[in-house]
């Protein structure tokens, strides 16, 4: 498991990016992005979660970080990244569906980064296979300044702890101020039909 003072490993992520030179319905191309590209010479927050479109990730964590982006910037954070053991097609579609405005998505499709930092767990009990444990990292030039790791790290966990890596909790650590939950949009799970629906809260 990754620890404070550790430099993240050198990993290349396979991403899909928009290419204006490509015509048609799918104007995207493959682009390799490295951890050095993402983290070098920057102070960033990286948060990771079990999977795109899953309830806690979609209802609280992703929109929470996105809505608090300006507050993180004011606190000296250059970028916020969301990582999951999903491919780039899934991560891009999730970001589009969730109307992400600020957070940048990292597809760790093969789980190379997650495995290298010791945060991979087996979630076969849910039919997920191998996925990331939920956590957040405060990185300074690729070195872990603070790790916010949810308790109970184990394979086939019966629950999905959420609190340590909550956006407000991470921001509170950085600023030294009491956590304030974002009041913007959230994504909620409609338990009747089992699909995600967007609820507009506040002014957004």
Rg (CA), the chain: 17
Mean pLDDT of 115-136: 94
Pairing of strands 143-149, 135-140: antiparallel
Structure tokens at 13: 């992520």
Report, as residue numbers or ranges, the catalytic residues: 57
- Domain with residue 66: its CATH number is 3.40.30.10
Do 163 and 169 touch, CB atoms closer than 8 A?
yes
What is the maximum span of the chain, computed from C-alpha positions, in angstroms?
49
Spatial separation of the C-alpha atoms in residues 171 and 95, rounded to whole Å: 22
Determine the structural domain holding residue 119 and report its residue range: 12-199
Asked if residue 139 is part of any domain, the answer here is yes
Do 123 and 50 touch, CB atoms closer than 8 A?
yes
Q: Could you tell me the pTM of the whole model?
A: 0.86
Residue with tokens 């109970």: 152
Do 142 and 7 touch, CB atoms closer than 8 A?
yes
Asked if residue 7 is part of any domain, the answer here is no
Structure tokens at 54: 């899953």
**% of the chain residues with pLDDT over 70:** 87
Domain count, the chain: 1
Asked if residue 114 is part of any domain, the answer here is yes
Q: pLDDT digits over 9-18, tens only?
A: 999 999 988 7
Of 124 and 113, which is predicted with more confidence? 113
Structure tokens at 159: 């629950």
Asked if residue 127 is part of any domain, the answer here is yes
Asked if residue 29 is part of any domain, the answer here is yes
Asked if residue 1 is part of any domain, the answer here is no
Do 39 and 141 touch, CB atoms closer than 8 A?
yes
pLDDT of 191 > 60? The answer is no
Asked if residue 162 is part of any domain, the answer here is yes
pLDDT of 26 > 80? The answer is no
Do 74 and 110 touch, CB atoms closer than 8 A?
no
Asked if residue 3 is part of any domain, the answer here is no
């Amino acid at each position: 498991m990754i620890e404070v003072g550790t430099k993240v490993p050198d990993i290349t992520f396979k991403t899909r990016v928009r290419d204006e030179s490509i015509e048609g319905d799918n104007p995207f191309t493959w682009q390799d992005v490295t951890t050095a590209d993402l983290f070098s010479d920057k102070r960033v927050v990286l948060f990771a979660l079990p999977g795109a479109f899953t309830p806690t990730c979609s209802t609280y964590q992703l929109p929470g970080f996105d809505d608090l982006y300006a507050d993180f910037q004011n606190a000296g954070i250059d970028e916020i990244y969301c990582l999951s053991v999903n491919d780039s097609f899934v991560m891009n579609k999730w970001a589009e569906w969730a109307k992400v405005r600020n957070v940048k998505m990292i597809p760790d499709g093969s789980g190379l980064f997650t495995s290298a930092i010791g945060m991979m767990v087996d979630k076969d009990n849910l039919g997920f296979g191998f996925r990331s444990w939920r956590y957040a990292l405060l990185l300074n030039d690729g070195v872990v300044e603070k790790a916010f790791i949810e308790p109970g790290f184990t394979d086939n966990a019966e629950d999905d702890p959420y609190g340590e890596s909550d956006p407000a909790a991470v921001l509170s650590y950085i600023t030294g101020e009491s956590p304030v939950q974002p009041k913007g949009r959230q994504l909620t799970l409609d338990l009747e039909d089992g699909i995600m629906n967007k609820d507009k809260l506040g002014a957004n």
